Amino acid sequence: MKRFRIQSFKIDVLLTVVTSALIVLGCLFIFLADNIISFGFSLIMPILLVLNLFFSVYWLVKKNKIFLLSFFCVVVYFLCFDFFIQFSSYNSSGLIRTTSKSDTLSVLSYNAQGFRHQNNEGRVETHQPIVSFLNDKSPNIFCIQEFSSTHYKYFTEYPYFFKTNIIAGKGKSVMAIFSKFPILDKGYISFPNTRNGAMFIDIILNKNKIRIYNVHLESYSARLVYRKNRHNNYFALAKRINKAEKTRKEQVHILKRHMDKFKGTVVLCGDFNSTQFSSAYNLLKGNLKDTYIEAGNGFGATYELFKYPFRLDYILVDDNIEVLSHKNFKLKFSDHEPILAKLVVKN
């Protein structure tokens, strides 16, 4: 029995050391590398946090100083990342406040998959339920990725819009921004050697000039790679992930340079194709606030791959914007889910 306890103790110590080492290595790889290893760590980081929290409590209850190792790694995690689940009952200031329509801005972001969702029954046209959903939620600003250029006529509630099918050029993924506010300026940011890109519009709200960015970063195309390479899918998938990680990092730097030149208030939203544990997300976030972190609930997942939930779609805002609410919607009209944030722009 004594021998069993010794063996059990050694295994517990080994597991503690391994999980502690992995969470520290994960933080290093995510910020220093752009490859399949950093991608892998971005997927398992929540699991590593839970394990380190468990071992912290486990060794603390046993009154063993080893708990300090796991506790240190938990601190390292929170120095690098936000918590992956939120329990927000109030807005970011902790207070429910009354706002007027003049200073409130509602922004919705959605990757609509070209209004042709692939399900078990084949391709399904989805523009009608999406239009109904938008009419019901009626956001001031609607940013859409993977838009169909022929469907803009259905969004009659939005007198102002900007779509990229002409300005972006042939072969580029179509995006659009629909607005209930007049558009002062607009533009497209092309990412080289890819279908992806970013766009922006400028509006005035409560005497503030606000730039709304709509971005669609490089995808892993994991499902497509898997279907095309069933006999050699692991190698092909790894190759695609490595390429996507590097390409996305280049796109982030292009977008970041463009954002840094603008001196007004910024709202950045879109499909990042990256989790919150990726360097791409953290570089773009910078000093911006994530509306889900500020006022979201649950896991905030917007995408599912092989039944594994991911948060890939975001709305990031400047510090002078107060986040009143953030909502996720389970529509199943696309491979992504829409997100909606209600904001207040401070003078």
Average pLDDT over residues 257-278: 95
- Report pLDDT for 85: 87
pLDDT category at 118 given cuts 50, 70, 90 is low
Residue 300 DSSP label = -
Whether residue 151 has pLDDT greater than 90: no
Number of residues written out for the chain? 347
Provide the 10 A C-beta neighbour count for residue 2: 6
CA dist 52 and 76 (Å) reads 11
Report pLDDT for 123: 60
Note the pLDDT of residue 309.
Answer: 85
- pLDDT for residue 94 is more than 50: no
More reliable by pLDDT, 297 or 237: 297
Which residues fall within 8 angstroms of residue 222, CB to CB, at 6 or more apart? 237, 240, 241, 305
d(CA 279, CA 294): 20
What per-residue confidence (pLDDT) applies to 237?
76
Residue 95 is predicted with a pLDDT of 44
Asked if residues 123 and 113 have their Cβ atoms less than 8 Å apart, the reply is no
Contacts of 122 (CB under 8 A, 6+ apart): none
Tell me the pLDDT of the chain averaged across its residues: 87
Mean pLDDT of 286-299: 94
Q: Give the integer Cα–Cα distance in Å for 141 and 168.
A: 21
Predicted confidence (pLDDT) at residue 120 exceeds the cutoff of 60: no
Higher pLDDT, 305 or 258: 258
pLDDT band at 321 (very low <50, low <70, confident <90, very high): very high
Pair of tokens at residue 112: 């609509």
Tell me the β-bridge partners of 210. 203, 265
Q: Are 323 and 343 contacting, i.e. CB atoms less than 8 angstroms apart?
A: yes
CB 301 within 8 A of CB 310: yes
* Cβ within 8 Å of residue 182, ≥6 positions away: 160, 203, 204
pLDDT in tens, 43-85: 999 999 999 999 999 999 999 999 999 999 999 999 999 988 8
In this predicted structure, the answer to whether residue 166 has a pLDDT above a threshold of 60 is no
Count Cβ neighbours within 10 Å for each residue of 261-288 and write b for 16 or more, e otherwise.
Answer: eeeebbbbbbbbbbbbbbbbbbebbeeb
Task: State the pLDDT at residue 119.
Answer: 58
Three-state secondary structure readout of 55-115: HHHHHHHCCCCCHHHHHHHHHHHHHHCCCCCEECCCCCCCCCCCCCHHHEEEEEEEECHHH
Q: How confident is the model at residue 303 (pLDDT cuts 50, 70, 90)?
A: very high
pLDDT digits (tens, 9 = 90+) for 169-218: 556 788 999 999 999 999 999 898 888 999 999 999 988 999 999 999 99
- 115 pLDDT tier (thresholds 50, 70, 90): confident
Evaluate if residue 98 carries a pLDDT over 70: no
Q: What percentage of the chain reaches a pLDDT higher than 90?
A: 58
Specify the pLDDT at position 66. 93
pTM score, whole prediction: 0.89
pLDDT at residue 24 greater than cutoff 90: yes
H/E stretch holding 324 = strand 321-328
> Rounded to a whole number, what is the distance in angstroms from the first to the last CA of the chain?
70
Per-residue pLDDT, averaged over 31-54, amounts to: 92
Taking CA atoms, 340 is separated from 26, 296, 302, 328, in Å, by: 31, 10, 12, 7
**For the stretch 90-128, what's the b/e string if a residue is b when 16 or more beta carbons lie within 10 angstroms of its beta carbon?**
ebbeeeeeeeeeebbbbbbbbbbbbbebeeeeeeeebbe
- pLDDT confidence band for 258 (50 / 70 / 90): very high
What pLDDT does residue 279 have?
92
